[in-house]
């Protein structure tokens, strides 16, 4: 019997997550045993609230246009399903919605916490006697999912960070004689320094910016850092610092931790760049500027990596193929080929070995002084930012096509 599918986007979005959605929907339309693809409005909340978008109402051209659209076309969320035993109500509600709309396939597109949610959903077919094939689809600019060589979304963010670092460093260098001596760029990365490390790709020659990279894997040493800044300015006339938002002090506390937490219980980070800037002003009396790339680094579709875009689409295609084969509780991961020439393929991996785990920078990727990365890290990172796939432009800016976003008629009462 033909079953419908549920697809949702979760967590912080990327510049290529919609490309995954596009590929998945188009691939699903090729399979006779899949009925309609319902997209959850605002992630898993779309299932709980029975807010389902009927993607069959969208034309092929509209779905294809998602490949060049930033953000999350169907809305995302930060919502963590509790353990089954502590909150059976949520899971029973999911089953009610699935039954009401004949949903037999569940696709959840996200990062670490999303993989956990997908793994939990994959278990309910046994616990609540409802057949469903659940596939988690990788997505995160943090690049911290285990098993997969890289995460869709990361390569494009890395390309943006490397480009921004290079361009900003040229700006600072041109004014350093009479103005700014130090520039600080803050990038995402709570526990893993992949994004900060990617700034190293801005270098063309020895001595090029970034001159200092501060990683969350390395405890911040204030004295050592200030000494390096002073030495760099003395040598080059200026210094460019790239710092990960998750930088910690010797008490293992975030330098910029705020008093609030997000829906997953993670501490909200208040901005480490101004902290570093104030330190340089107070201790070294050097004029400096800082910037936080924030949402810009993850939403810059105009400079996305073609390699990243291709991988984002391929995991969406494979997710459908795995589901129709009857797979459950797996994720399509990227496997890097051996040899000097960069190659990759997609293989399934069990969610039980991915959920709630985190991949940090290996020690072999971090320099001895702890404020830079090694050639081995650059060798890993370089292929991921290769290629361009510019969106179409209209009136000077990227052209975005609107979706109809037709919602399915609800069959159940409201969820509380």
Active site residues: 142
Tokens of 58: 């969208």
Report the DSSP beta bridge partners of residue 171.
none
Phi–psi pair at 243, nearest 5 degrees: -125, 135
Task: Identify the residue whose tokens are 């991949």.
Answer: 359
Alpha carbon of 154 to those of 8, 197, 235, 391, 413: distances in Å?
A: 19, 12, 33, 18, 40
User: Could you give the dihedral angle defined by the CA atoms of residues 330, 331, 332 and 335, in that order, rounded to the nearest 10 degrees?
Assistant: -100
How many angstroms separate the CA atoms of 109 and 297, rounded?
19
Buried b (16+ CB within 10 A) or exposed e, 284-316: bebebbbebbeeebbbbbbbbbbbbbbbbbbbb
Selection from 24, 215, 228 nearest residue 109 by Cα: 24
How many angstroms separate the CA atoms of 39 and 19, rounded?
14
Task: Provide DSSP, 216-256.
Answer: TTS---HHHHHHHHHHHHHHHS-EEEEEETT-B-TTS-BTT
How many angstroms separate the CA atoms of 269 and 256, rounded?
5
DSSP-derived 3-state class of residue 297: helix
Residue 50 near residue 97, CB atoms below 8 Å: yes
Selection from 60, 95, 74, 62 nearest residue 7 by Cα: 74
């Amino acid at each position: 019997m033909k079953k419908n599918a549920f697809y949702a986007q979760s967590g912080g979005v990327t510049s290529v997550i919609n490309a995954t959605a596009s590929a998945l929907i188009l691939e699903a339309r090729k399979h006779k045993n899949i009925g309609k693809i319902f997209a959850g409005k605002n992630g898993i909340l779309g299932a709980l609230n029975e807010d389902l978008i009927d993607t069959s109402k969208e034309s092929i051209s509209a779905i294809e246009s998602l490949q060049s659209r930033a953000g999350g076309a169907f809305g995302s969320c930060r919502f963590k399903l509790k353990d089954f035993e502590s909150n059976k109500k949520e899971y029973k509600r999911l089953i009610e919605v699935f039954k009401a709309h004949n949903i037999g396939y569940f696709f959840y597109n996200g990062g670490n916490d999303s993989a956990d949610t997908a793994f939990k959903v994959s278990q309910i077919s046994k616990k609540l006697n409802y057949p469903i094939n659940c596939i988690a689809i990788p997505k995160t600019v943090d690049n911290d999912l285990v098993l997969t060589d890289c995460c869709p979304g990361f390569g494009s963010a890395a390309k943006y960070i490397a480009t921004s670092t290079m361009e900003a460093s040229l700006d600072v260098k041109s004014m350093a004689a009479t103005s700014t001596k130090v520039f600080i760029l803050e990038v995402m990365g709570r526990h893993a320094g992949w994004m900060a490390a990617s700034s190293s790709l801005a270098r063309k020659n020895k001595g090029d910016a970034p001159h200092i990279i501060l990683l969350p894997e390395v405890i911040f040493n204030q004295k050592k850092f200030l000494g390096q800044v002073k030495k760099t300015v003395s040598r080059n006339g200026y210094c460019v610092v790239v710092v990960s938002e998750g930088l910690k002090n010797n008490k293992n506390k975030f330098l910029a931790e705020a008093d609030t937490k997000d829906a997953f219980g993670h501490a909200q980070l208040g901005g480490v760049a101004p902290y570093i800037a104030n330190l340089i002003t107070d201790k070294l009396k050097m004029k400096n500027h800082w910037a936080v790339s924030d949402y810009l680094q993850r939403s810059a579709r105009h400079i996305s990596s073609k390699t990243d875009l291709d991988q984002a689409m391929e995991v969406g295609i494979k997710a459908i193929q795995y589901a129709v084969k009857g797979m459950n509780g797996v994720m399509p991961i990227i496997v890097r080929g051996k040899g000097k020439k960069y190659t990759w393929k997609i293989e399934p991996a069990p969610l039980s070995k991915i959920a709630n785990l985190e991949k940090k920078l290996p020690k072999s990727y971090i320099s001895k002084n702890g404020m830079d990365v090694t050639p081995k890290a650059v060798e890993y990172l370089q292929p991921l930012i290769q290629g361009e796939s510019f969106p179409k432009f209209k009136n000077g800016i990227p052209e975005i096509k609107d979706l109809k976003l037709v919602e399915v008629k609800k069959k159940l009462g409201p969820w509380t």
